[in-house]
Structure 1
C-alpha cells in the first residue's frame, strides 16, 4: 500500500470526487443538497450544502472507518506524533469524556487538578469515577490557579496508589503548563495512565519555541481542540492515543456517545486543517508568537494593564508558559476582567475570549493580523483612560479548594431539593455552577457548598459573568442533596 502523504486530504478529496458525480440522493440529510431548505442554502451556500452528506461506501463511516476516514486518522496521528488519532465531531468535550471513560469505571479514582473543564467532571457523572484533587497553587497577584506541582502529584499518588490515571491541563486557559514529562513518568512508574486535556495546546505540536506537547511527553491520551488554535470548524476535535492504549477499546468507548451521523463538514475541516498545519504550521505559529510578543510589549506600556508571560515561570507550578496566550491582568486599572471584556465588546466592537475577575484572554491563532492587534492595543489604552479608576479591593483569588463529600455521579442522581444560595450553605451540591468561558466549575456535584463559594457566585453575578450549569437559569437557587 502506498504511503500516505501529509500533502493529501483524503476526506476532502473524496467529497470533491463525490460532488462531481451528481448522485441523486434518496438518503439523509433531508434537505437534499439544499433544495429542500433554500433559506439555509442562501445562508451557507450551495457548495456547503452539497458537502453535507451522509456516510456511504465511497465516503467511509466514522464509527468504523476503513478507507478515507481511516487514512485521515493515520495522517493526523503522524502529524501529532501519536500512535493513533480519532476524528471527533462532538467537540473536545467529547474527546475529554472519551479519555475518562476509557480508563476508569465506577468507584475508580482519577488524580486531577481542580481547575479542569466541566467535561472532565461530566464524564465522572457518566462513568462513576471519583476525582482526587491536586489543589493547584495560585498566583495571588494574578488571582489565577496555576499548574500542578510535581511534589504535590507525587504525594497524592502515594496517598492513592489504587488510582487509575493522572490528568494534566496542557496548558491551562491562561497558558500555564505543569511539568508534564515528570508527571507522565510518575504516573507510569506507579502503574497509572497519564491523560492530557490539550484543548488549548494544538499548536504545541508545530513549534520548538512552545511548551512540550502531551504526545512528545509520553502521555497515553490527549484531547486536542483543532478548532481553537488549529483552524478547523467549531466542534471539531482530535483524540490522540499513545502506544499503550488499545485503539479498538478506545473506539468502542467513543462510539458509546459520539453520533453515528458524523458531519462531513466537520471531518473535512479537520482533514484540511491537519494538512495546513503539517505543511505550514511551523512558519504560521512563528508569526503567531511574534504577534503575541508584539502585543504584550505594547500592552505593558499602558498604565494599569499587565500582559504576563514567561517571567511567571518558577519551574514548579508554572513549569512553562505558552507565549501565544495573550492573558492580561486588569485589576490595577480598577476594573475587573469581565468589565474590560464587556467594554471592549460594547464600546469598541472587539470580542475577547473571556474575562474573569482579574484578567482577560485575547486568543491568538493562525487567523490573526497585526492591524487587529493594533486595534486591540489602542482600544485597551482608551479603556484605561476613559473607564479606569483607583484600584479597589476586588476578589483576587480564583481558586477555592473544594470539599468533596460524595462522588459526582452519586450526587447528580441523588434525591435533591432546591434552596436559595445562602440557604444552600453547608449542603452538598448536586449540580454544576461555572463561569463560561472557560467552563471550569466553581461548584461540581458532590461538593459541599461553603460561604466563600456563595460569595464567589454572587460576585460573579454582580460583575456580569455568564454563569451556567444550575437548573435555575437565574442562579438564585441551587439543587442540593436532600437532608444532607
Structure 2
C-alpha cells in the first residue's frame, strides 16, 4: 500500500472511479442508482443516490476491509493519534456499545460516572456487566453534574479492585472534563482499561489550548462523533483504539451489531471530513473557539444569563473546560432552559442543541457563521425583555444521585409490571426515562424510583422537555420489577 497522505480520501476516490465505470447493477440497493425511485432521486439528487451502492471488490467491505476502507481507517488512526481506527455507521451509540462490549463481559465490573449517555447503559444491558457508579459532584448554582474526581476514582478502584475498565466522559455535554491523564495512569497501574466517550470531543484532536484528547491522554478506546463537531453526515463516527488493544477482537465485536450493508454516503463523509480536519482542523477550530468566546461575552453582557467558561475550572471535578460549548444558564431570568429552547425555535426560528431544567446549549462547530451567532444573541436579549419573570419555585438540580438495586441487564429482562407514575415510588425501575437530548437517563433499569425523581420527571414534562425511554410514550405509567 502507498505511503499514507492526509491529502487522500480513498473511499471518496474509489466512489468517483466507480461512478465513471457505468456498471450495470444487478445487486442491491433496489432503487438501482435512483432509477427505481425518481421521487427520492429528485429529493436527494442523482449524484447522491448514484453512490448509494452495495459493498463490492472495488469499494471494499466494512466488515472485513482490505483495501480502500482499510486505508481510510489507517488515515483516520494517524489523524487522531490512535493505533487503530474503525469507521462506524451506526452513530456514536454503536461506537460506545462496541467499546464497552470489547472491554466487558457478563459479570465484569466497570467504573463509570452516572451522567453517561444511555448508549453506555444499553451496552451493560447487552453484555451483563455490573456498573460501579462514581456519582459526580454538582455545580449547585448551575445545577449540572461535573466530572469525576481522581479521588473518587481511587476510592472506586480500592472498593472494586476486580473492575476491568473505567469509562470517562471527555467532555460532558456541558463541556466539563475530568483529569483524564491522571485517571488513565491510575487505571493502568491497576491493569484496567480506560474507555472515553468522546462524542463531543472530536475537535480536541485538532485544536490548540483545548482539553487533552483521549488518545493523547493514553486511553485504550475512544468513541468520537465526527458528525457532531467534525462535519461528517449524521450517524457517522469513529472508534479509536490505543496500542494495548487487539484491533482484530474489536472488529469482531463491532461486527456483532453493526450493519453488513454499510452506507457509502456515511463512509465517504467520514473519509472527506477526516481529510478536511487533518489539513485544516487547527484553523477551523480556532475560528470556532473565537466565535464561542465572542458569543459568550455578548450573552453575558445582556444580563440575567450566564454563559460559563474557564472560570469554572477547579483542577478537580472540573479539570478543564471545552470553550466551544456555548452552554447558557437561564434560571436567573425566571425561565427553564427548555422554555428558552422552545421560545428560540417557535418565536425566532433558531434551533439549538438542547434545553434542560436550567440551561441551554448552542452547539458551535465548523459550519457556524458570525451572523447566525448575532441572531442568537439578539433573540436571547429579546426573550429576556419579553418573558423574564420571578424565578421563585423553579427546580435547580439537573442531576439526582440514583440508588442501584440490580444490574441493568437483570432489571431490563426481569418479570415486570406497569404502574401509574406516582405509585412507583420505592420500586425498582426496569426501563429508561430521560430527556432527549441530551439522552442522559434520569432513571435507568435497576435503579430505585424516589419521590424526588418523580417530582423531577413531572416538572420536566410540565416545562416541555422531550421525555423518552419508557414503554408508555405518555409516561403516565412506568414498568417496575415485579415484587421488588
Interval containing the TM-score (normalised by the shorter chain) = over 0.9
Distance 1:289 1:3 in 2: 33
Match of 2:138 in 1: 138
- Aligned pairs (5 A) from 1:155-234: 155-234=155-234
Counterparts of 1:230-379 in structure 2, within 5 Å, are 230-379=230-379
- The residue aligned with 1:437 is 437
Which contiguous aligned blocks of 4+ residues in structure 1 show a shift greater than 6 angstroms? none
Instruction: Tell me the distance in 1 between the aligned counterparts of 2:217 and 2:197.
Output: 13
Counterpart residue number, 1:457: 457
Checking the alignment, whether the CA contact within 8 Å between 2:208 and 2:286 is kept in structure 1 is no
How many angstroms apart in 1 are the aligned matches of 2:2 and 2:404?
A: 54
Using the TM superposition, give the Cα deviation of residue 398 of structure 1 relative to its aligned residue in structure 2, in angstroms.
1.1
Looking at structure 1, the residues matched to 351 and 208 of structure 2 have their Cα atoms a distance apart, in angstroms, of 30
The 5 Å alignment of 1:51-200 reads: 51-200=51-200
Other-structure match for 1:38: 38
Distance 2:432 2:22 in 1: 48
User: Contact 2:107 / 2:129 at 8 angstroms: preserved in 1?
Assistant: yes
SS of corresponding position for 1:278: helix
CA distance in 2, matches of 1:303, 1:209: 28
In the alignment, the residues of structure 1 paired with residue 54 and residue 479 of structure 2 have an alpha-carbon distance, to the nearest angstrom, of 41
Instruction: Find the aligned partners of 1:191 and 1:460 in 2 and give their Cα distance.
Output: 41
Distance in 2 between residues matched to 1:141 and 1:199, nearest whole Å: 26
Give the count of matched residue pairs.
484
Q: SS of 1:301's equivalent? A: helix
Residues 247-282 of structure 1: CA distance to partner in whole angstroms, max 9, x if unpaired?
Answer: 000000000000000000000000000000000000
Q: Deviations over 1:407-429 (max 9, x none)?
A: 00000000000001111111110
The Cα shift of 1:394 comes to 1.2
SS in 2 for 1:111: strand
C-alpha separation in 1, matches of 2:390 and 2:480: 40
Q: CA deviation at 1:124?
A: 0.4
Q: Compute the RMSD of aligned alpha carbons.
A: 0.5
Q: CA deviation at 1:2?
A: 2.2
Indicate conservation of the 8 Å contact 2:181/2:218, yes or no: yes
Distance, in Å, in 2 between the alignment partners of 1:340 and 1:2 is 53
Tell me how far apart the structure 2 counterparts of residues 140 and 397 of structure 1 sit (CA, whole Å): 7
1: distance between equivalents of 2:391 and 2:451? Answer: 25
Equivalent in the alignment of 2:402: 402
Structure 2 distance, partners of 1:46, 1:4, is: 31
Q: Distance in 2 between matches of 1:280 and 1:110?
A: 37
- Give 3-state SS (helix, strand or coil) of 1:429's partner: coil
Q: Give the match for residue 7 of structure 1.
A: 7
- Please report how far the alpha carbon of residue 446 of structure 1 lies from its aligned counterpart in structure 2 after TM superposition: 0.5
CA distance in 2, matches of 1:104, 1:276: 34
Query: How far did 1:12 drift?
Result: 0.2
Distance in 2 of aligned mates of 1:208 and 1:335: 35
Deviations 1:152-189 (A, max 9, x none): 11011100000010000000000000000000011101
Are 2:429 and 2:447, in contact at CA under 8 Å, matched by a contact in 1?
A: yes
CA distance in 2, matches of 1:437, 1:220: 27
Q: TM-score, normalised by structure 1?
A: 1.00
- CA distance, structure 1, for counterparts of residue 71 and residue 130 of structure 2: 36
* Secondary structure of 2:261's aligned partner: coil
- The 2-side partners of 1:241 and 1:447 are apart by 32
> Which TM-score applies when normalising by structure 2?
1.00
More deviation in 64-73 or 390-399? 390-399
1:384 corresponds to:
384
Distance 2:415 2:475 in 1: 20
Cα offset for 1:208?
A: 2.1
Output the CA distance in 1 between the equivalents of 2:458 and 2:187: 38
Which residue in the other structure is 1:483 paired with?
A: 483
Distance 1:200 1:112 in 2: 17
**Residues 41-82 of structure 1: CA deviation (Å, up to 9, x unaligned):** 011000000010000000000000000000000000000000
Matches of 1:318 and 1:239, distance apart in 2 = 25
- Deviation, structure 1 residue 389: 1.1
Instruction: Give the Cα separation in 2 of the matches to 1:128 and 1:2.
Output: 43
SS of the counterpart of 1:300? helix
CA contact (8 A) 2:117 2:439 kept: yes
Deviation per CA, 1:371-399: give whole Å up to 9, x if none: 00000000000000001112223111111
8 A contact 2:115–2:145 mirrored in 1:
yes
